[in-house]
């Protein structure tokens, strides 16, 4: 499908010149001669790229208003602003509002075509990244054999068949959005939109606009996340960061299943399944006055708790193998030969959780080392974490040999237990001990067995 360029200029000669120039370059065009025509074209169908004159029929900066309108609908659309009355303030203002380029009249035709070509490339790259990200989420599985992951898989199977609201708890990077997408994919709403609103990334003044949308004086409508997710699923990520006044409005939507857009007079009815996630303990947030208790109970119809990667070390070898295969395929390279039992990896404090582990493997794929030693060096440099042998060596320099040996055995056996998710038989087999001997050793070292 040919790229479509919207040309907005009140000067017929300029419109015709731009139209012929852009058609000859192989693009499709639409034209508008004034502000209202431009609004109509934008609201009818969003162009791939827009070229806007600053001065139209409404006022000195109505092209800048159109720029803001386009960005409120889709911030990724490249907008090239042109004007015959340029000044530094106007240029800076348009770029601040998201213009891709600012061009003065009379313009050089080749230069303008170059800007358009770059704008199209920029849009295509963003669309490809979105498509790639969606494919990653839709193709990735919830990997692991730990008790926590097995429980979550079972919960997904059951809760996907219902319409219940869900609260996902877990540290950053643990897979909350992946779980939400799995629930949506397995639900009756799977052919409807899945929309993500990240509470931690929004400007504090834009929460209401992003959620509810806006009706402007000129009749244009900016749609919020609730309407974009109508009939589908809305994930509010980091819901703990939503301000209290907006929390009360979300509560009202949950109660009434309707809302008003900013500056709007009419109710908008929506049918949205709401999933919320948080890296913070919402009960603690309630105690300190940062979160409404009544909203918490409305959101927490069903709760899924995802543990940190440090609490499910047995999943790490499986994740390494899985990501190595997936990422190698996406980079079209030979599958990475990463040691799944690398002590640097198993003993690393995974503050970024699964996301951090995946990023490590992607970094290895990008560098494409051709030996295990080179892979090991990348791991060590990336994690900047000494393995437990080195820790024990350093700590053992100032203590008696017997105590140093006991410390090493305790560290070693604790790590192996975590790796095998507390399974005594598998741990005993790996370390080369009889099961009964391992039981005695663990008891003697004061290591608590777990399931």
- For residue 20, the model assigns a pLDDT of 92
Distance of CA 114 to the CA centre of its chain: 32
SS3 359: helix
What token pair was written down for 374? Answer: 């080179």
Q: Please identify which residue in the block is written with the tokens 């213009």.
A: 99
Identify the bridge partners of residue 277 per DSSP, sorted by sequence position.
168
Question: For residues 194 and 233, is the Cβ–Cβ distance under 8 A?
Answer: yes
Which CATH class, in words, describes the domain spanning 4-127?
A: alpha beta
Which CATH class, in words, describes the domain spanning 310-385?
A: mainly alpha
What token pair was written down for 376? Answer: 């090991």
First and final C-alpha spacing in the chain = 56
User: Can you give 329-385 as a three-state secondary structure string?
Assistant: HHCCCCCCCCCCCCHHHHCCCCCCHHHHHHHHHHHHHHHCCCCHHHHHHHHHHHHCC
Identify the bridge partners of residue 288 per DSSP, sorted by sequence position.
none
Q: Which helix (H) or strand (E) is 198 found in, with range?
A: strand 194-198
SS3 208: helix
- For residue 393, the model assigns a pLDDT of 44
Q: Say how many CA atoms lie within 13 Å of 430 toward its Cβ.
A: 17
What token pair was written down for 148? Answer: 């926590």
- For residue 175, the model assigns a pLDDT of 92
- For residue 392, the model assigns a pLDDT of 43
Question: For residues 66 and 42, is the Cβ–Cβ distance under 8 A?
Answer: yes
Q: Where are the beta strands (DSSP E) in 199-270?
A: 214-215, 221-222, 233-237, 258-260, 267-269
Domain limits, CATH 3.40.50.300, in the chain: 140-307
d(CA 166, CA 301): 6
- pTM of the model as a whole: 0.62
Average pLDDT for runs of 10 along the chain of length 451: 84 91 91 89 87 78 82 85 77 83 86 89 76 56 92 96 96 93 93 88 81 80 88 94 92 91 89 95 95 96 95 93 87 84 85 91 83 84 57 50 68 78 83 81 80 55
Domain limits, CATH 1.10.8.60, in the chain: 310-385
What token pair was written down for 288? Answer: 């300190």
Q: Please identify which residue in the block is written with the tokens 């947030």.
A: 285
What token pair was written down for 416? Answer: 């192996």
Homologous superfamily (CATH) of 389-445 is Homeodomain-like (1.10.10.60)
Specify the DSSP class assigned to residue 145.
-
Domain limits, CATH 1.10.10.60, in the chain: 389-445
Specify the DSSP class assigned to residue 96.
H
What token pair was written down for 180? Answer: 């939400």
Q: Please identify which residue in the block is written with the tokens 């799995």.
A: 182
- One CATH from 3.40.50.300, 3.40.50.720, 1.20.1260.10, 3.10.290.10 for 140-307: 3.40.50.300
- For residue 316, the model assigns a pLDDT of 94
- For residue 411, the model assigns a pLDDT of 75
What token pair was written down for 95? Answer: 């770029």
Question: For residues 314 and 320, is the Cβ–Cβ distance under 8 A?
Answer: no
């Amino acid at each position: 499908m040919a790229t479509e360029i919207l040309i907005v200029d009140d000067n017929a000669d300029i419109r015709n010149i731009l139209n012929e120039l852009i058609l000859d370059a192989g693009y499709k065009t639409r034209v508008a001669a004034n502000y209202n025509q431009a609004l109509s074209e934008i609201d009818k169908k969003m162009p791939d790229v827009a070229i806007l004159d600053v001065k139209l029929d409404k006022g000195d900066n109505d092209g800048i208003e159109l720029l803001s309108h386009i960005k409120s609908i889709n911030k990724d659309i490249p907008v090239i602003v042109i004007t015959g009355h340029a000044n530094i303030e106007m240029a800076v203002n348009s770029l601040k509002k998201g213009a891709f380029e600012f061009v003065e009249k009379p313009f050089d035709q080749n230069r303008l075509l170059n800007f358009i070509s770059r704008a199209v490339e920029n849009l295509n790259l963003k669309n490809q990244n979105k498509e790639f990200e969606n494919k990653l989420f839709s193709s990735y599985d919830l990997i692991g054999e730990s008790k926590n992951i097995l429980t979550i898989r079972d919960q997904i199977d059951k809760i996907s068949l219902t319409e219940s609201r869900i609260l996902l708890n877990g540290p950053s990077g643990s897979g909350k959005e992946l779980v939400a997408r799995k629930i949506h994919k397995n639900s009756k709403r799977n052919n409807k939109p899945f929309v993500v609103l990240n509470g931690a990334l929004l400007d504090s003044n834009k929460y209401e606009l992003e959620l509810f949308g806006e009706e402007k004086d000129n009749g244009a409508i900016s749609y919020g996340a609730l309407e974009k997710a109508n009939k589908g699923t809305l994930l509010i990520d980091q819901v703990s960061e939503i301000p209290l006044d907006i929390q009360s409005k979300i509560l009202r939507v949950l109660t009434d299943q309707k809302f008003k857009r900013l500056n709007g007079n009419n109710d908008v009815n929506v049918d949205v399944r709401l999933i919320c996630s948080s890296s913070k303990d919402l009960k603690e947030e309630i105690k300190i006055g940062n979160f409404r208790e009544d909203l918490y109970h409305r959101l927490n119809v069903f709760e899924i708790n995802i543990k940190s990667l440090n609490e499910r070390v047995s999943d790490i070898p499986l994740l390494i193998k899985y990501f190595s295969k997936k990422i190698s395929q996406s980079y079209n390279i030979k599958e990475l030969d990463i040691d799944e039992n690398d002590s640097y990896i198993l003993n690393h404090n995974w503050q970024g959780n699964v996301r951090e582990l995946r990023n490590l493997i992607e970094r290895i794929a990008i560098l494409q080392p051709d030996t295990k030693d080179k892979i090991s060096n990348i791991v060590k440099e990336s994690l900047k974490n000494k393995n437990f042998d080195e820790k024990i060596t350093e700590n053992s320099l100032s203590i008696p040999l017997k105590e140093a040996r006991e410390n090493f055995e305790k560290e070693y056996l604790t790590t192996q237990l975590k790796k095998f998710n507390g399974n005594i038989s598998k741990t005993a087999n790996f370390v080369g001990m009889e099961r009964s001997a391992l039981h005695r050793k663990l008891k003697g070292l004061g290591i608590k067995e777990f399931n």
